[in-house]
Structure 1
Amino acid sequence: MSNRKTNTDVILIGAGIMSATLGTLLKELKPEWDIKVFESLEKAGEESSNEWNNAGTGHAALCELNYTTEKSDGSIDISKAVNVNEQFQVSRQFWSYLVDKKLINNPQDFIMPLPHMSMVQGEENVQFLKKRHEAMVKNPLFKGMEFSDDPAKLMEWIPLIMNGRKDNEPIAATKVDYGTDVNFGALTRMLFEHLESKGVEVNYKHKVQKLKRANDGSWEVVVHDLDGCKAKYYNAKFIFLGAGGGSLELLQKTGIPEGKHIGGFPVSGLFMVCNNQEIVEQHHAKVYGKAKVGAPPMSVPHLDTRYIDNKKSLLFGPFAGFSPKFLKTGSNMDLFASIKPHNLTTLLAAGVKEMSLTKYLIQQVLLSKEQRMEELREFIPNAKSEDWDIVIAGQRVQVIKDTEKGGKGTLQFGTEVITASDGSVAALLGASPGASTAVHVMLEVIKKCFPDQHKEWEPKIKEMIPSYGLKLMDHPELLQELHNSTAHTLGLSEKEPVLS
């Protein structure tokens, strides 16, 4: 590589919520470090973090039924729900710290209080939801969750969903008033504005072309300036690959052993958006249903109140689609370019295992608007086609890897962090709950990649996240205190939950 290199401490690739979060944490922990950001698009938060490319759910497992499973003995396993909720509590604390310190302003621009609900139909599903409620409400993290199978009560909670129901099929719902709607696009832009004010150099329309390890263990990086049509050369001690679906390609370019035998499977998403504001005003909640038998976790249907550009919106979905692109703005060659000799057998094994997913995606792609409306009418019986439009949401790349439990070619539904053995590079792969747990995930990156500094940084981390190192479910008084303080700071105190 050229000798005309610019030296820096940290390079963040991709201007999404993950890079924004990691950069903000590092600037608080080590203000003197030089940080540079490279983003191939014109501004921050334009891919998966963008408010139109995700559901905007503050994922705390309050309503998402795929985080709780029924075991063979009939009991409900809530362990995954607990983990997701604990991680969201970390995000709430960090966001509250940023607002308290006036590092970001106007929290209502990115987070709003909104009830989170689960809704099911059919006797078997109603019994499942009842058992789930009984298991979860015993845990301090979920205190205040209400259950009802009374049509009159449900009419109070979800009139748009209950109006026009003609059959007598059992229906039930749970409701948690302290859920949130999060505009991750707005939050991402706020964080990058803050970083730039602290001297972080954010380079838009810059695409990373090459990554090569130098003899001293640092990384040499070649970046293409898309406006200037020229190459720029950098050397960094630490690199974070937070480029969404583009992270896999960059991980492969590093050549680190930890990046071998990993593949990606892209899934696109569609949402139905209500264009009739009178209908929008009749609903005020995020209501998650249960995925149909045999359908993947990504297919869980939900009807979401959203707050975007200071306007209340209503979305239903997601409907899955397929595109070989790894990013919404990517190339149709992305999937094929990701196939390497070291991951070929992993990908082939996944192809054999996931025939049901392939069938599901084909069925989803072939759906007409009217067929999508029929699925919507399971939520809103009186839905009219002319009141709803279709928008294309973001691309998600599901990780495929060899695991001890699942064997070769296991499809991972979740967020994965791959780190080099020396901690000099970390890559964020995968999807939901992603953005909601960004702070927890980035703290794990810091712990793995900066072990020598971590002990020194712990007091500052605990200032930002008072519960750091603790499980809040084991400390209900601290949970209550932090819930109340963050609700006040973030403007979520509209209706306080009953946590005792």
Structure 2
Amino acid sequence: MSNIQNKSDVILIGAGVMSATLGSLLKELAPEWEIKVFEKLANAGEESTNEWNNAGTGHSALCELNYTSEKSDGSIDISKAIKINEQFQVSRQFWSYLVNSNLIRNPQDFIKPIPHMSLVQGEKNVTFLKKRFKALSNNPLFQGMEFSDDHEKLTEWIPLIMEGRTLNEPIAATKIDSGTDVNFGALTRMLFEHLKSKNVEINYKHSVEDIKRTSDGLWELKVWNMDTGNIERHTAKFVFIGGGGGSLPLLQKTGIPESKHIGGFPVSGLFMVCNNPEVVAQHHAKVYGKAKVGAPPMSVPHLDTRYIDNKKTLLFGPFAGFSPKFLKTGSNFDLIGSVKTNNVLTMLAAGVKEMALTKYLIQQVMLSNEKRMEELREFIPNAQSEDWGIVVAGQRVQVIKDTEAGGKGTLQFGTEVISAADGSIAALLGASPGASTAVHVMLEVLEKCFPQHFEEWESKIIEMIPSYGVSLVENPELFQEIYTSTAQTLGLSEKELVYS
């Protein structure tokens, strides 16, 4: 067993979309910095980032009903939808910069235009969707959205969903053609190829076993080289933990105060995948429904046109489940191993609070194939069992923390950056909207961890992301300009946006 000692400026743990994005930003802002990446799997983007492990939706709140809530006075709160849409525009701008700079090529290999739709049934839900449509369509970020409760129009939009449907209750949908399908696995592989060409050292089959602070203020990583069996020691001034579900256990090893009183709740998922090309050809949209009463936000059912390996396919789900693993390739001891003296009360409080969620997950685990087909038939009445198979999706670890609003042991459903007070180490925890907002989130990491560099970096950041520091919803002309230019660069049609 040898102990190899290595120093660098930045270490990125995990070869997913977050590390790929942060590395790509840093190489533009500080090209002279030495960056190393450690990934325990054999390739980039194999866990949550992999195209079969997520929904591939360019999350911009065009169709996701859980980003717009109904207030007590009956009005619709669209503030979260605006926030997520603006964050996705930041990603589009950075990807466009990379394409225009010839740092990545062939954007059609990772992003394609696809209509985003919301679909509801029942008088109450139709009323909600109509109010949501009015609130969003008056906003410059959502112009081009259409609403219909007309059966003929809906049959034109979603023939597969409308065929064979008994129309015994109201049904309505919104449609906006400016949505996207994003292959985050393909994008991540492109970004790591780019980083490799910029002399970033990418180490696959290297597992980070421990992280500790050295006497001179650096972070030392104990890394197991899985090919040779050697233990290596690597030090860096800054470490980013971007290991998906595996980030929490590594964050806990750092011992920083910010890592205390935080837990994780793992949720697994399944998608049904259509293996009949004739059925796949009849549907062209991402159609999001409404989560059932008692179901968590990540379980919103949706029927998605996807492009994977340049092949059109159709997925339905997700079906939630429970596994104690924090990663798809993780250990059954991940959950119990994450319980520490500083977070045990937080975890227990969450357990008491989330009994309904636990019951829901158990019910989902127990679903038979025929029960899953019944749920699919709520979307596609004529669905045939022989046309559909199952694919196991990625693991998601939802953050549990103590909050003012929710009290002790509150389950969080977003993404969260946890960083040391001195900015020397940061970790990304949480799930949706995740990859879609990677550029925004990694800029947040840079702002938190490198405030001393921001004055010199700002002009370059604005070159890469022209809307940086500006509210697009308050500057509709800038939004139109940015939207049109990014659509052109990324090969997306801009004809859908009709401005008044």
The interval holding the TM-score normalised by the smaller chain is: over 0.9
Contact 2:3 2:231 in 1 (8 A): no
Within the alignment, does 1:315 sit opposite 2:315 as a pair? yes
* 1:450-461 superposed matches below 5 A: 450-461=450-461
Residue equivalent to 1:219? 219
Within the alignment, does 1:165 sit opposite 2:182 as a pair? no
Within the alignment, does 1:408 sit opposite 2:408 as a pair? yes
CA distance in 1, matches of 2:347, 2:68: 28
CA distance in 1, matches of 2:395, 2:233: 30
* Partner-residue secondary structure (3-state), 2:98: helix
Within the alignment, does 1:327 sit opposite 2:327 as a pair? yes
Within the alignment, does 1:375 sit opposite 2:375 as a pair? yes
Residue equivalent to 1:257? 257
CA distance in 1, matches of 2:166, 2:440: 45
TM-score in terms of structure 1 length:
0.99
CA distance in 2, matches of 1:206, 1:168: 57
Contact 1:113 1:494 in 2 (8 A): no
* 1:266-415 superposed matches below 5 A: 266-415=266-415
Residue equivalent to 2:472? 472
Contact 2:48 2:54 in 1 (8 A): yes
**Alpha-carbon offset, residue 494 of structure 1:** 6.7
Provide closer, same or farther for how the CA distance between residues 316 and 4 of structure 1 changes in structure 2, counting only shifts above 3 A: closer
* Partner-residue secondary structure (3-state), 1:472: coil
**Alpha-carbon offset, residue 115 of structure 1:** 0.3
Residue equivalent to 1:199? 199
**Alpha-carbon offset, residue 259 of structure 1:** 0.3
* Partner-residue secondary structure (3-state), 2:294: coil
- Partner letter of residue 461 of structure 1? I
**Alpha-carbon offset, residue 455 of structure 1:** 1.3
Deviates more, 1:2-11 or 1:98-107: 2-11
* Partner-residue secondary structure (3-state), 2:209: strand
- Partner letter of residue 432 of structure 1? S
- Partner letter of residue 205 of structure 1? K
CA distance in 2, matches of 1:327, 1:7: 28
Residue equivalent to 1:26? 26
Provide closer, same or farther for how the CA distance between residues 64 and 484 of structure 1 changes in structure 2, counting only shifts above 3 A: same
Residue equivalent to 1:236? 236
Within the alignment, does 1:103 sit opposite 2:103 as a pair? yes
**Alpha-carbon offset, residue 167 of structure 1:** 3.0
Residue equivalent to 1:143? 143
CA distance in 2, matches of 1:24, 1:112: 22
- Partner letter of residue 231 of structure 1? I
* 1:65-84 superposed matches below 5 A: 65-84=65-84
Residue equivalent to 1:463? 463
CA distance in 1, matches of 2:42, 2:235: 24
Contact 1:294 1:356 in 2 (8 A): yes
CA distance in 2, matches of 1:334, 1:45: 21
CA distance in 2, matches of 1:139, 1:436: 21
* Partner-residue secondary structure (3-state), 2:293: coil
* Partner-residue secondary structure (3-state), 2:248: helix
Residue equivalent to 2:155? 155
* Partner-residue secondary structure (3-state), 1:50: coil
CA RMSD, 1 decimal: 0.9
Q: Deviations over 1:4-45 (max 9, x none)?
A: 521100000000000000000000000000000000000000
**Alpha-carbon offset, residue 298 of structure 1:** 1.2
Within the alignment, does 1:419 sit opposite 2:381 as a pair? no
CA distance in 2, matches of 1:65, 1:82: 13
- Partner letter of residue 187 of structure 1? L
Contact 1:326 1:395 in 2 (8 A): yes
**Alpha-carbon offset, residue 220 of structure 1:** 1.1
- Partner letter of residue 44 of structure 2? A
CA distance in 2, matches of 1:3, 1:136: 58
* Partner-residue secondary structure (3-state), 1:370: helix
Q: Deviations over 1:388-407 (max 9, x none)?
A: 00110000000000001100
Give the gaps of 5 or more residues in structure 2.
Answer: none
Q: Deviations over 1:197-245 (max 9, x none)?
A: 0000000000011111112221111111000100111110000000000
* 1:2-13 superposed matches below 5 A: 4-13=4-13
- Partner letter of residue 36 of structure 1? K
- Partner letter of residue 379 of structure 1? F
CA distance in 2, matches of 1:394, 1:234: 29
Residue equivalent to 2:489? 489
Residue equivalent to 2:182? 182
CA distance in 1, matches of 2:251, 2:354: 24
**Alpha-carbon offset, residue 295 of structure 1:** 1.3
Q: Deviations over 1:238-289 (max 9, x none)?
A: 0000000000010000000000000001000000000000000000000000
Residue equivalent to 1:439? 439
Contact 1:12 1:35 in 2 (8 A): yes
* Partner-residue secondary structure (3-state), 2:416: strand
Contact 2:484 2:494 in 1 (8 A): no
* Partner-residue secondary structure (3-state), 2:395: strand
**Alpha-carbon offset, residue 495 of structure 1:** 4.0
Contact 1:120 1:173 in 2 (8 A): yes
Q: Deviations over 1:126-148 (max 9, x none)?
A: 00000000001111111111000
Aligned residue pair count: 499
- Partner letter of residue 499 of structure 2? L
CA distance in 1, matches of 2:104, 2:499: 29
Residue equivalent to 1:91? 91
* Partner-residue secondary structure (3-state), 1:399: strand
CA distance in 1, matches of 2:387, 2:131: 36
- Partner letter of residue 146 of structure 1? E
CA distance in 2, matches of 1:329, 1:495: 42
CA distance in 1, matches of 2:138, 2:35: 45
CA distance in 1, matches of 2:291, 2:232: 48
CA distance in 1, matches of 2:180, 2:412: 26
Q: Deviations over 1:157-214 (max 9, x none)?
A: 0000001012321000000100000000000000000000000000000001111111
Provide closer, same or farther for how the CA distance between residues 3 and 267 of structure 1 changes in structure 2, counting only shifts above 3 A: closer
Provide closer, same or farther for how the CA distance between residues 453 and 386 of structure 1 changes in structure 2, counting only shifts above 3 A: same
